[in-house]
Amino acid sequence: MLNLQRLIVLHELERRGSLAAVAQSLNYSPSAVSQQLTTLEREVGTALTEPIGRSVRLTDAARILVEHTRVAIAAIESAESELAASVGAVGGSLHIASLQTALLSLLPAVLETLERVHPELHVDVSQRDVSEAASGLLAGTFDVVVGEEYPGGSLPARAGLHRRDLGADEMLLAVPASGPWSAVNSLSEVATAPWALDPVNSAPGRWARATCRDSGFEPDVRFDGVDLLVHLQMVRAGRAVSLVPSLLRAEWAHGVRLVELRGAPSRRLFTLTRSARVAHPAVHAFREALATAFDAQRSVAAGRAF
């Protein structure tokens, strides 16, 4: 019978692309990774890698093994989830990747709930873009991803991942509370204003620019970056206008006036986990706590005067 741990080394090589990256992810030395692969080649009786410059790539035989290894890993993970569910205890470690807005507005309440209700559960949180985080989810780096998608930019379904929607989050025009542009009530009125937006190659950046073009202008982007708090600071200082989600807690939008957009465009928030971990008590507990925090924060946002 083939050794599962050595198969996992091969699986990680297919995922990460280099022996050094595999060694880092599995906490092995590079020589130990090479030894594991050499032993596996001896077991199967054929070459599994071939040199490409200073790196290696997988042979056709190796790719066959990787596909079967994915199935084996999913089956083991599913068994672990069922076992944990049968015991009923929520503990261990949970690795979360999340977009910035959720980190600012939702995760503090979620972590407080989990710490109170499930004190044996240890949660690690990383800020990541959903596309990067989904790859990490498939590779086993993360257990749950909190992501977003914008109108016209739905994420394609990925095999092996389970999605659960949180709900819609309305997008708003952010202008200074006083001074230039503070009295505007539509997007077309800020056509000549400087803007603070996400990069053009990001989902929110593409959506924001397309929305401006639909209103008849190309935004003059003076502040280009992924940090929403920087965008809000530029708006607060009267240096720019921006497009922001209504989920923002009031303290982050202090000194900023939020204006509803025509048609009330919304992004959609969701969580992803590996299909084999859907039933895991820790994953279920996190998703439930996040949904509760989202509903509570959305109620607050809905009652906010614009």
CATH assignment at residue 33? 1.10.10.10
* Same-domain check for residues 177 and 304: yes
* Same-domain check for residues 154 and 124: yes
Query: Can you give the residue range of the structural domain that contains 112?
Result: 92-306
If DSSP codes are grouped into helix, strand and coil, which group holds residue 235? helix
pLDDT at 16 over 90: no
Tell me what the mean pLDDT of segment 128-140 comes to: 80
Please tell me the total count of domains within the chain.
2
* Same-domain check for residues 270 and 147: yes
Give the end of a domain, one of 83, 108, 129. 83
* Same-domain check for residues 74 and 169: no
* Same-domain check for residues 23 and 134: no
pLDDT of amino acid 116: 95
Give the end of a domain, one of 50, 83, 116. 83
Give the end of a domain, one of 83, 104, 134. 83
More confident residue, 157 or 215: 215
Q: Is the pTM of the predicted complex or chain greater than 0.75?
A: yes
pLDDT at 226 over 80: yes
* Same-domain check for residues 30 and 116: no
306 confidence band (pLDDT: 50, 70, 90): low
In angstroms, the Cα distances linking 173 to 25, 170, 294 are 42, 10, 21
Please state, in angstroms and rounded to a whole number, the distance separating the CA atoms of residues 178 and 53.
60
CATH code at position 140 = 3.40.190.290
pLDDT of amino acid 48: 86
* Same-domain check for residues 223 and 291: yes
Average pLDDT, the chain: 88
55 confidence band (pLDDT: 50, 70, 90): confident
159 confidence band (pLDDT: 50, 70, 90): confident
pLDDT at 76 over 80: no
* Same-domain check for residues 108 and 257: yes
pLDDT of amino acid 302: 67
Residue 245, beta-bridge partner list: 171
CA atoms within 13 A on the CB side of 181: 27
- Provide the angle, in degrees to the nearest 10, between the axes of the packed helices 19-26 and 4-16: 120
* Same-domain check for residues 167 and 119: yes
Least confident stretch, 29-38, 96-105, 117-126, 254-263? 29-38
* Same-domain check for residues 102 and 57: no
* Same-domain check for residues 43 and 74: yes
pLDDT at 25 over 90: no
* Same-domain check for residues 117 and 135: yes
